[in-house]
Structure 1
Amino acid sequence: MNIHHISESKTTKEKNDNTSYHFDETLHDPGKILDYLMDLICSCDEEGRFVWVNKASESILGYKPEELIGKKYSDFIFYEHAAILNEKFDCKTHTSIFEKKFIHKNRNIIYLQWSAVWDDTKKLCYCIGRDITEKKNIEKGFETERLQFFNIYAQAPSYMAVLKGNDHVYELANELYLQLIDKIDIIGKPVKEVLPELEPQGIFEILDNVYQTGESFSANEMLIKFDGHSSGKLKDVYLNFIFQARRDANNEIDGILIFGNDVTEQVLSRKKIEESEKMYRDLIHKLPVPTYCCDSEGQIVLYNKAAAELWGREPELGKDLWYNSWNINDNKNKHSKPLDLCSLATALKEGDPILTSEILIERPNGDKRNVLPYPVPFHDTDGEITGAVIVLSDITEMKLAQKELKKSEKKYRYLFDNNPMPMRIIDLLSFNFLDVNKMAILQYGYSREEFLSMTALDIRPNDDKIHFIKSSDTSKIDRSNYNRGIWNHIKKDGTIVPVEIIAHNIVYEGNEARLILSNDISDRKKAETNLEKRNRELIKTNSELDRFVYSVSHDLRSPLTSILGLISFIETESREIDTLKHAELIKISINRLDDFIKNILNYSRNNRTGLEVEQIPVNEMILDIVDSLQKMKDANGIRFEIEIKEQNPFYTDRLRFTTILKNLISNAIKYHKKEEADKFVKIFGYSDHENLQFSIVDNGVGIDPAYHQKIFEMFFRLSGKDGSGIGLYIVKDAIEILQGSIEVQSDKGTGTKFNITLKNLKSC
């Protein structure tokens, strides 16, 4: 666009005067048109001074044209562009388009996009400036939002990823997602390439459905198996996640957004809690003593059979309260006392039960039982009481005995003194002896007077006294085995004997005391010692038996070898068909017996010798064993395929490893289908720094699933099958010694696959 506003003579004159930048010639119609345009249109001389400006300058920059003409355009540029203020527009060959920030008259920043062309004849630059401030602000706001989004995306506490296209190619993935799948370089790759293990789990079908239908998919605590580091070992992960379709500006689906959280810890913790709760419930049900549980409101939530028998009825869970069968009784005052003073109420309210508070349970048939409750409150993580477990001790018989004792001191003394178990009564606070029976005097060697001058701590060895504090403050006493347990006691002659004690709180002559029954278990301890001795002798006998079996089995093989030699002579020299036939039958029987003896030797050696760990060249050893077994008559026509990837050196016991391979491979040869056209035995697997995992597969006669466990039992043989029935037993025994495992996959007529895992006994 070329606009000539001034004549050349006027231009020349103004340049000579260098004082005025106004022109005499005015623009008529074209000038008016330019004034009505929304864009800023101007011309500048070589020094960058405005020569002509249209009226849009007032709406765009806030300056009228006359305020700009004669001034340098650089005076209005924002300071950050100061370094290029004096640049000239190179518009001689093409139109120059650029952006600059200008300062509005009101001091605001204005973004102008310029297109400029240089007129070399007029020595003027003609420019059009478009106000793009709003566009720039929008772009800036968009960039700010975009950065905020990426910051949130990268720092989100959940794992997030974005898939693009129907091939589900990774476009974005935050750090948590990369940690989840244990992969790094995934951007630009499809999910099927990065996580192929998800295909059998149905995840790809879900992704396809979300992409095709736009329907979101969400799951809670869904089990997903990931192959971290592509090692072949799948790791169980529980996830809460959602797959949501992503739409473009045309509302077309162009990808999938993935959001989720790894809840594996929560799920495993919950399962452990559920297992613990089940164990807890099973324990309550199996306890032989009356036991039940209640919640913080006192409602019964669990009880065992013994508790129902004690109550004489079965309570309704979640409805009946803990005291429904109770008739609270105060022993001293012989009258009912408030329920909120009993031991369980105290336990639920304060967490400090009064274990000596006795209750009276009245059954529906009117029968009454004296009971001591032992409540233990439960607390949550905040220390709040959530319930309690209560063990009830039926002391009815003991109470009756106490009453009988009170009726007759003579009868009490007789029963007490002549009890076959040593009995003592001690003061509950001071532990002073209040009474002892004859059996206690006889057992300990102290006289009655000596006992009454002592405390219960005096008959405890010094090492045991540290568990007790001799004080009237009973709250300081260790009650870990307060009511029953095994203690050491010291006799007057200094002999220390183990005793089993049972203790009960009683009222003795109006005072709180404890009745302690003790039983000398020295003989039982000696019996336990004798049992240990017999066990050692049994181990020795078994060891000697192993050596005997080895010796006998070894000696039996020598005459068998001689017999086989004689049979070879008969087969060489004889021409009689019946003789050769009988010799072959004898040879088969002797070989079968020799195999049995070899298995016996292997079994004895397996149990008799320790581990000798060394590095094993797995492929080489398998090839040697297969080569040695090629001599078996059943090996003809069998194709062997061997491929063990030895990723790390494998260490184990060579003898036992050889025994395992020989037995399994020889069985695979022996039990092939005679009529099978393509008979094969395949051995494949890999070794790493932890294990050797391999499989032995054949297409032989197979094993009925009903016998999969029995085949590893000693002397078990399938009906109609040759063999000693000890080979697979030895294999399993050797594998267990090598800290491994074996499993069989087979069906009748479809071949057999043994999967073996052996620990690398010297990991790299």
Structure 2
Amino acid sequence: MVASIQSFLQISSDALLVTDIQGKIQSVNDAFLQLMGDESAAQWEGQPLLEMIDSVDFLWDDFIRTSPSEKASLALKRVLLHVSAILDQENNMVLVKCEKNKEDIEVPEHLEKGIDRLVEMLDAREKKYEGNLTDIQRVLNNTFERIDRYKLISHNVTDVVCLHDPVTAQYLYVSPSLEESSGYAPEEYIGKTPYEFFHPDDLSKLAPDHRNKQKGEDPQGKMEYRMKVKDRPNENGYRWMEAVSRPIMDDQGNVVMLISSSRDIHDQKMAQVEKQTFFDYYKILANKIPNGAVFLLDKDSNYLIAEGEELKRIGRKPEDYVGKHTEEVFDERGKQEVQPYFYRVLKGERVRFEFQNFGNHYQVLGEPYINEEGEVQCGIILLQNITDSKLFEEKLKQTVYELNFQKSALDISAYVSISDRDGIITYVNDRLCQISGYRHDELVGQSHSLFNSHYHPNSYWDEMYSRLRTGEVWHGEMKNRDKNGDSFWADTYIVPFKNAKGEITQYVSIRFDVTQRKLMEEDLKAKNFELDSFVYHTSHDLRAPLTSILGLVNIILMEEDKENIMDYTRMIQSSILRLDDFIKSILTYSQNSNSERKYIFINFHDIIDANLQELRYLKNFDKVDITVNLENDIPFYCDPIRLNIIFKNIISNSIKYAHHDRDYNFLKIKVKQTAEFAQILFEDNGQGINEEYQGRIFDMFYRANEASDGSGLGLYIVKQTMDRLGGIIRFQSVYNRGTTFTLEIPNKPPDVEPDYE
């Protein structure tokens, strides 16, 4: 033996032995004898180490080539010796360090018998490898043949199969499928414990299971846990697994090893999480809808969720529905009137209906939730109590009736977006894209300031952000701007979502379209202003002639001169005629505003002639030369009442405001008919309209001529009438030279339904 090796043996405190290349022991040191409980080294010399440790599943050539860092994976538990390192190798001599395998480990009492028996069978000092060696090997071989079979099977399944030390739970063997599930190579697990790879929140499941298997108990069920994964950022460092483990026993019932099998259930768990998120989303919606409730039904017509303010109001709880079939919930009347609609939803139909129950009137909207494969996943039912207000019914028609489910429950009736804690958009539904004119990719990654119409003051935004930062739900009406710069109004809820630490992680914005209502409100304000103006001017223009008449009557009562009385009477007549003219204008305005449109065949010659006959007694009528030119004989259909209003007002204006100091005044009327419209031209050489007044001639009660004693309603009525007919009116005027009005009125044959308002 090499002197340096012999010297090292004598001075080392580690248990060492030296073998030749075939594995026969050449020498042992005192520390080894002390470890084994022997006094003489002679009995060890020449002994075959390989026979002592049983060469099953162990090749000497592989052993001597294995690096020190890998020796732990070759733990020779069959002899309770652990080869931890090869210290030197030269001259075909192998220097081996040995130690007790279970040294310094607290062994549970229920494992003592199994370990003691192995020690007893393998104690070379007592057994001398005689007599019972065959029985010892038979017992061990039976145990390890079972283990080998586990290994062989594990190479052909997708589950991760592992063998564990029963005391420490260290991995002794891991099947190749580990790498596919976790990204770790099997050798990275060897010598480590499951405690190093379980998610911290799942460790509480592992310890009790380990203790039960140490006692030899059979598995009581499957354990779900999160396993650490490697180089997979999309899975947040862990992947869900489902495991079952059991003890491996020797022929006397002692636990010698543990085996576990883990199945990948990550996709299944993620689907469950997504489903729960889907449910939570609807619960939020349900509890934000005034006097409403939301139900989700599975494909078998069982209730999945039942939430909402209306349930509380009628004394119902979610548990009265959830998990039950509609057959269990409905009474006989409900089964006849309501349940058939639910079945239609689950078949893929969109439904809308109303019913009465609990003394209330309800409106119900049903929408199937359909996946990308076109399969109905569940039915979504939105219920609303509309007893107290039909206004909500109108809102429901405008915003909820046009349901369009995709992936989110809120797509039923709302424009939905989700943004991160910094306000950057991460999701938008199709309805928001439709109303805003933006594509999905144009919105995701942008801020909601993209919709800012700059209508609201800074205080509006300050109040909103202040509430959201404290985690409160914000609600308000917001004027938005679409891609084209047009405005749309939304009744908006913004809901902050928090994580387990109470930190806001994202915001969900739910918008209901109220554009039509806001436009109606603005139109109503304009009409109220117009009405106030109308009342003011009407009262003024009615009182002025009456006051004049009353004054003249008082003068007449005191007057004795008949000539003066006649003058005063003529003045009274003038005031009465002016008052009559004003009242006629008001009646004409009312007639245009309230009468229904009736479209019949129009003879323009008759229309013009009738108006000229009616106006022939108008002052200065005979001083205006009126000519009429009618082109084409194409049938034209229109509302004759409104057409007469237009002709009468424009012709009378031309006569009233003719230049009476001129020798010649004219009015030319030209009508050209086509299949689409009639173009009507009124051209005169009257007083004309001053340029500074031209922008207001169609306003109510506006008089462009200061000398006029008219009502100020004539051209206003003409414009309103043209709007009712869907026509266009334009004019050109030069002061003191005359005015030309050009009208285009649609031709509406009887089979064409008028659609102008």
Give the TM-score, by structure 1 length: 0.32
Give the TM-score, by structure 2 length: 0.32
